[in-house]
Structure 1
Amino acid sequence: MPSPAPVSAMSAVAARRARQQQAQATTASKTTADVEIATEPPSKRPRRSIEGAEPTANGGESKGPRTRSSKVQEESSPPVTRAAQQKQASRSDQLGSQPHDVVGNHEESDQEGDEEEMTENEVASVIGDADGYESPADTPAELQNFPLSKARLNKNNILYGDEDALCVRIKEKMNLALLGQYDLWVKRGVVSLMGAKLHPSSRVYRVYAPSTHSLPVIKCVSGVDGEAEVEIKSCKSGLSRLRDISPLYQRIWNGENTAADKITLKGGLKDSRRTFSVLYTSADDSLKRHLRPLHLDKKWSASMKGLSQRHGRLRVLICGPKASGKSTFCRYLLNHVLSPAPDADNGYTNTDGVAFLDLDPGQPEFAPMGQVYLAHLRAPFFGPPFTHPSLDDVRDGQILRAHYIGATSPKEDPDHYALATMDLMEQYRSLLARHPQCPLIVNYPGWIFGQGLEVATWLIKSLGLSDVVYMSEKGPAEVVEPLNMAANEARVPMTILPSQPTDFVSRSSAQLRSMQIQSYFHLAHPSGLVNPLWSEAPLSRTRPIAVDYTGSKQGILGIMVMGSQISPEMLREVLEGAIVGVVAIESPNAIMGAASQASEQRPVEDDEENESDTDEYGDIDSSELRVDRAASGSLANAVVRTPEDLPYLFIGSGTSIPLDPKASNCLGLALIRSVNAESCQLELSTPIPSSHLRDAIEQGHELVLVRGQLDNPNWVISEEYHAARAAERRYQQTIARGKKDNDFVDDQDKQNETLMLLRERIRRASNVPWMTVVEDNSRRHREAAARREKSLWKLRKKAYPGSESETDW
């Protein structure tokens, strides 16, 4: 662990922040509440990953070490208020520090909530959120008036506009930047967006442009009389409503109407609001965030153009260090290859789609973390990963096969990772039989040093690639040279491109992972709709799926635990509140040699002479365990029954051997809400479509739940609390608007009764395990909370010395 920053420097920062706090305290009217997520120590400590070199002002990589927040500063830092948060610059991830994540109920005005009326409901988390959140910079950076759009809207280029839609003409080489969510229809000309060239058609594209990422720009490539015509329409996906259950989703969409919006809304209703806003510069943003347009380095553009010219022969591996822009490059290249050009000059039209092999389990593009998968895409996607956390639309794209790694890093089990990769490549070869002109794009994780480098060079030699792209011109040589040698040996050209990190980010990589998995569990694909919808209802208020784990209606074959030695009697404690992979077993030999190994090591029911069981399983009473006997070679022969009768696939010396990728397929993730020992049922929440589960069962596949090394989803615990606070705030805003507009509102007694019920809901929601609401926000309580959290971290370091957060890749 790096040494803390000098105390003198931290003291100066603390003094400055203390003065800010004193100035804010003079105008504060009510006490701010703190939420402390005091989580139990997980199976391993939340990671503090090294995200790469800190970007410099010109977008390059800094050669010096990245700064880390001092614990001294964190203990004395006050919670960030709404006004300070608006001015605060969200710099690149601060590494190695105990997180100080602001989870205030900040929301966009009007659409996202009235920010002026919610000061009393602000919530700030104490230091050390157990989800592994990394904090943005504590020192506010000066906001710059950064240009976003070249085009300016006026009566000459605005065809029509109302409270729902806007139709404009954009001249060639001009662009328009928008913030929010919208549907884009290209009516005339050709425009480019996030690498894709969109031609006139009846197709409407859904675009998500949150402030968490650089804003995509709509640029006119060519047009009739030098102009392109596009219609931009508001959309309601429900994604913005997730702000009611998670602070991470607050303040990420458009705020008040900008000057350009007001011009196009003339003649509309007084308080008309769209789900998007047109911005000329970053100063147009009413929430004063660091907004930047999404643009490409010239070398990136040239490389994409050259790669796309390989057409159906393209097989490219994208690799490089962390935070170098691999995901952005892959996203742009995918959209570029998928661009629907009806009449290409060279006569080539992509009708077979693109295969995307995502080998990054930490930050996957189209699936929640912990998986590697092969996806077949047929249309471009516009938005960050949390806007498409899964693929269930057969028309635009689908995941052909996935394997559950159970961790955010491949280094936990490189052998299983390599086997999963080779199986996915076999699936790609099968795809080529149906779509012979389907190119392949491989996204390799930032695990590029040590053993990760060995795996990368092995993949270059084994996958039959056409190209290798390395995303950093600054080396290091000990990585670039082996990669270049492997490429030369495989006779594959290797291209080295400059990294393109982001100057300002409002969410760390850990927070984005949390947003993506929360988006995944709240996602729905209603039949008959092209675009997905999200529900803001807390998972605790949704109906769970009850699955029998024993008896004639047993719905699962067994439960596995990867990466940890868990005794059978502790299985229930490990499962409740955990996220598991739902894996379909396609062959009884999914664990090779498991039956014979289990028969030698497992305890036998009523075997009083077998005293070795006590030595092997510690203090476990073998009489409490029941073993399912089955035919030799079957997975069921390896099942051990726990005291709750749970079917535990207890293989090896306490750690389950991973399933053979050739005989298994991950269908998705599920949250185990509880284990009901009386009814022998598991209560699950999962967004996996019922049709996928039904198809697996009809094909004769058994289902296995796999508990990996992912941290417990602590965001589930706090969802009901944030939803209750949001309900109270909305009701108070309704009362205020009713009084202002002289509309009918409930009488005073009815209002008091409703508010009392809403506040009782907040009280109940705050009284849950591992979460404590601190109403007293004094410095003494904050420091006491910081000390408690600090002691928990010491405990975790001592208990889990080899955790990923200490030896990051």
Structure 2
Amino acid sequence: MKISIPVNSTSTETTTRRPCPTNLSRLTRQSVPLATSTLKSRERSCKAIYLGQCVVPDADANSDLEADLKISSFTPTVANHCRSKSGLEFFGLARSETLVLLGQYEFRVYHGCISLLGGVLAPTSTFHRVYAQLTESLPVLTGTSAHFPAAVAAVKGVSTESLIELLKAEVPVRTAENLARNDCVIAVRSVRSGLENLEKVCLNMPCSFGISHAEGSSYTPLYTRAEGQSFPALTREPGRTWGSAMHSVISTVIDRATKHYGTPPRIVVCGPKNAGKSTFTRCLLNAMLTASIDDVAYLDLDPGQPEFGLAGVLTLARMRAPVFGSAMSHATLDAATVVAATHFGYLTPRDAPTQYVEQARALCSQQWSNDRETFPVVVNTPGWTKGEGVRVLREVFLITQADIVIYIGPHFDEAEMQTSQNDSDAYGELPRMLMSYIRMTSIGRSKRDLPRLIQITPMDTPDWTKSSKEQQQMAKYSAADLRVAQTMAYFHHTAPGRWDFETHLTHMRPYAVRWAAADDTDAEEEIGIVDAVDILDDDDGVRHTPDVITAINGTILAFVLVPKDTTLDISHTALTSTTTIPVLRTSFSTPPTKLAGLCILAGIDIPARTFHILLPPPAREAIMAAGEKHHVVLIRGRLPLPVYAAWDGSQTGTAGAAWRDVPYLGMDETEEAQGGSERAVTTMMTMNRSTTTTGNPTTAATLSGALTGGAGGVIGGQELRVRRNMMRRGRGRRVAPLQR
């Protein structure tokens, strides 16, 4: 697809031109935590966690340390720890010994096996990248034994002499001999991806990778904490029920593959919110991919906390390597991993259950038609498990044809439910639906092909020791915080494994994409034309009024590709007496679509029929590659634009403009009590109706004249009311029923 960069015709220095900062904002009221007492309190808490953990205990004094002061059971000595001249740091671990590292790093297993986030890694020449942030539980490196034949063969294939020869290339002979005596040997090296600069943009996430590291190092070993300081949340090794469930699934996959019966299993993970479904699914995928299973299909149907995409996106990924990091480190819609993606547009299926089921069906159909017979499928589901949510979940089971159901939640007695004739709510809606599904799908199957229900306990809560309630709260991040960080990481993503947070979005030059007009005769031949615009939840028909511009400006839009042989039902909404914009008459009910990427609509040039958009380079390449064979539709969903995408953190304005010159954003300082004594300053981003637009004079004047009827006016007032009324849902709104 042809995407050009707009050039300011009044300036010859195009490389320094900045887009109009006023177009990168939301028209709704949003809360923004600044570097206030609340934010500083969170930062102090992070420092308390971090600084106290960097103590390297003396080997002789270690026996005097209390067990609850330890973070890693590993204690560095001359016999198990050294650093090579090439920058590698070697650790020798005993079986069951643990090591926690904070930051970004890559590690290689030289000897033994290492367990990490469910995966068991045997000796190879591969370096595995890890993103260990305080935004989530820190991953724990654990010395372990090989569980599966391939790993056992890899471990047995390395003799002590061969290991010493391998280590001698990096460390002196005596050091190599000392390291070789340990059960497990790993080498760790620093890596800087740019993600460590996330806090420069997301001001609500200070020191997510720690306060500071040793010079030249991107990580820090955490051995102990100081007495009285809070303990970090750790992702421990899977417990008995989690480990048993993963082993059962892997054994089934390997058994069916080696004995050539049946198809690879389809595993669906379900349970209520905050039960640990995403964590368990990640551990299960890592366990499968490190246990002689080369490929696993991962169908992520949780639009609120997706693994490989942004919120509101459903993805089908083909995984070939384990993942060690939070979702923000790989939620890039990378074409090498994500086979297909659809834009659902909502954070929960509660808002559009019928559309949710249809999109899940579309992704499943693609997987079944391509690779059903080749490798297993793991499905993650949302935590909506009451009322209509149970019926939606049952549809997901039927669509995916799940033959292994993993339930994470309160235990229930399956045998008692099998014999009970009671249809009351004594067991809960979800357990009763699960048992009903298992009974229904067992009819006519052989014993070894029977569907199974595996119950596991929810994830343990983080282990906090001797820390105040405030410290516990400040060290955690809400789902909304993580969604904001994930969104910002997506738009600052530059290449696989690389991010650039040095340049704020308001300082980036946007791409220009033209939209088709009613009288375009060459629209089909021209690459780069946006064929239509759509707005989800448009009950008031705003798309058919000039206010459609206000409804989509300064928001996140999805680049959706529709096959050329599909006829779009388009109408043209008049913006001025000479300019129209194509819109879909109604949103897609059954999505014949493919998501190519997401963008931020930074500005609109109405006379030129041009959108000014911000999107990461990988998404631009995907759109250019696919746009020639598809219609292009821009769809606005319910994913909110983070304030940090429009505000660069300045206390006096944004993008070099003072608050009085920014028409969409303003600052109101209010004080509210925190705990009865402490007072915090909260800044609200609000609409400023009394200012004039700045930036590109042509674009600003055009937008003002078109929407407010005056050459010197600003976008505001009525447009703000339209946006809020159209996109806001009342708390008591009734959930739409699932249509069949």
What TM-score results when the alignment is normalised by the length of structure 2?
A: 0.70
Cα distance 1:330–1:248, how it changes in 2: closer, same or farther (>3 A)?
A: same
Q: Distance in 2 between matches of 1:513 and 1:440?
A: 26
Query: Is 1:561 aligned to residue 504 of structure 2?
Result: no
Q: Distance in 1 between matches of 2:531 and 2:50?
A: 45
Query: Is 1:302 aligned to residue 244 of structure 2?
Result: yes
Residues 599-748 of structure 1: matches in 2 within 5 Å? 634-635=567-568, 637-643=570-576, 645-651=579-585, 656-658=586-588, 660-661=590-591, 663-687=592-616, 688-698=618-628, 700-718=629-647, 720-722=648-650
Q: 1:419 aligns with which of 355, 358, 375?
A: 358
> Is this contact kept in 2: 1:180–1:209, CA < 8 A?
yes
**Which amino acid is 1:150 matched to?**
S
Deviation of the 1:547 alpha carbon:
0.5
Deviation of the 1:442 alpha carbon:
0.3
Cα distance 1:776–1:710, how it changes in 2: closer, same or farther (>3 A)?
A: closer
Query: Is 1:511 aligned to residue 481 of structure 2?
Result: yes
Query: Is 1:317 aligned to residue 268 of structure 2?
Result: yes
Deviation of the 1:296 alpha carbon:
2.4
Q: 1:539 aligns with which of 485, 489, 505?
A: 505
Deviation of the 1:473 alpha carbon:
1.6
Q: Distance in 2 between matches of 1:332 and 1:430?
A: 27
Aligned match of 1:193: 116
Aligned match of 2:550: 573
Aligned match of 1:333: 284
Aligned match of 2:405: 468
Q: Distance in 2 between matches of 1:244 and 1:281?
A: 28
> Is this contact kept in 1: 2:25–2:643, CA < 8 A?
no
Aligned match of 1:355: 297
Aligned match of 1:732: none
Equivalent position SS for 1:696: helix
1:576-629 Cα offsets, whole Å, 9 max, x none, are 10001110001544xxxxxxxxxxxxxxxxxxxxxxxxxxxxxxxxxxxxxxxx
Deviation of the 1:691 alpha carbon:
3.1
> Is this contact kept in 2: 1:581–1:706, CA < 8 A?
yes
Query: Is 1:275 aligned to residue 218 of structure 2?
Result: yes
Aligned match of 1:121: none
Aligned match of 2:174: none
Cα distance 1:784–1:797, how it changes in 2: closer, same or farther (>3 A)?
A: farther
> Is this contact kept in 2: 1:282–1:290, CA < 8 A?
no
Q: Distance in 1 between matches of 2:723 and 2:556?
A: 23
Q: Distance in 2 between matches of 1:637 and 1:87?
A: 54
Q: 1:382 aligns with which of 321, 324, 331?
A: 324
Aligned match of 1:728: none
> Is this contact kept in 1: 2:28–2:724, CA < 8 A?
no
1:469-488 Cα offsets, whole Å, 9 max, x none, are 11102576222112221122
**Which amino acid is 1:179 matched to?**
L
Deviation of the 1:217 alpha carbon:
1.0
Equivalent position SS for 1:301: helix
Deviation of the 1:82 alpha carbon:
3.3
Cα distance 1:153–1:806, how it changes in 2: closer, same or farther (>3 A)?
A: farther
Equivalent position SS for 2:382: coil
> Is this contact kept in 2: 1:370–1:408, CA < 8 A?
yes
Q: Distance in 2 between matches of 1:637 and 1:703?
A: 12
Cα distance 1:760–1:674, how it changes in 2: closer, same or farther (>3 A)?
A: closer
Deviation of the 1:778 alpha carbon:
11
Higher RCO (CA-CA < 8 Å; seq separation 6+): 2
Aligned match of 1:400: 339
Cα distance 1:401–1:190, how it changes in 2: closer, same or farther (>3 A)?
A: same
Q: Distance in 2 between matches of 1:411 and 1:338?
A: 33
Deviation of the 1:668 alpha carbon:
1.6
Aligned match of 1:3: none
Equivalent position SS for 2:328: helix
**Which amino acid is 2:267 matched to?**
V
Query: Is 1:80 aligned to residue 38 of structure 2?
Result: yes
Equivalent position SS for 1:416: helix
Q: Distance in 1 between matches of 2:375 and 2:134?
A: 34
Equivalent position SS for 1:563: coil
> Is this contact kept in 2: 1:194–1:332, CA < 8 A?
yes
Equivalent position SS for 2:245: helix
**Which amino acid is 1:403 matched to?**
T
Q: Distance in 1 between matches of 2:209 and 2:313?
A: 29
**Which amino acid is 2:374 matched to?**
Q
Deviation of the 1:256 alpha carbon:
4.8
> Is this contact kept in 2: 1:177–1:293, CA < 8 A?
no
Q: Distance in 2 between matches of 1:200 and 1:318?
A: 31
Aligned match of 1:495: 454
**Which amino acid is 1:557 matched to?**
D
**Which amino acid is 2:493 matched to?**
L
Equivalent position SS for 2:138: coil
Question: Cα RMSD over matched residues?
Answer: 3.9
**Which amino acid is 2:454 matched to?**
T
Query: Is 1:441 aligned to residue 418 of structure 2?
Result: no
Cα distance 1:147–1:807, how it changes in 2: closer, same or farther (>3 A)?
A: farther
Q: Distance in 2 between matches of 1:227 and 1:788?
A: 56
> Is this contact kept in 2: 1:470–1:496, CA < 8 A?
yes
Aligned match of 1:734: none
5+ residue gaps, structure 1 = 1-36, 47-73, 91-105, 112-143, 258-270, 342-348, 590-633, 726-758
Equivalent position SS for 1:249: coil
Which piece of structure 1 moves more, 442-451 or 549-558?
549-558
Aligned match of 1:236: 192
Q: Distance in 2 between matches of 1:524 and 1:289?
A: 34
> Is this contact kept in 2: 1:308–1:314, CA < 8 A?
no
Cα distance 1:146–1:322, how it changes in 2: closer, same or farther (>3 A)?
A: farther
Equivalent position SS for 1:705: strand
1:752-779 Cα offsets, whole Å, 9 max, x none, are xxxxxxx997664795345444689899
Q: Distance in 2 between matches of 1:391 and 1:760?
A: 29
Equivalent position SS for 1:461: helix
**Which amino acid is 1:693 matched to?**
I
Aligned match of 2:662: 768
Equivalent position SS for 2:234: coil
Aligned match of 1:629: none
Deviation of the 1:459 alpha carbon:
2.3
Q: Which structure shows the bigger proportion of residues in strand conformation?
A: 2
Aligned match of 2:128: 205
Aligned match of 1:170: 93
> Is this contact kept in 1: 2:203–2:649, CA < 8 A?
no
Equivalent position SS for 1:295: coil
Q: How many residues align?
A: 572
**Which amino acid is 2:641 matched to?**
N
Cα distance 1:521–1:228, how it changes in 2: closer, same or farther (>3 A)?
A: same
Q: Distance in 2 between matches of 1:541 and 1:107?
A: 32
Equivalent position SS for 2:78: coil
5+ residue gaps, structure 2 = 1-23, 55-66, 146-154, 161-180, 258-263, 413-426, 443-450, 463-471, 674-678, 687-716, 736-740
Q: 1:247 aligns with which of 203, 210, 218?
A: 203
**Which amino acid is 1:768 matched to?**
V
Aligned match of 1:20: none
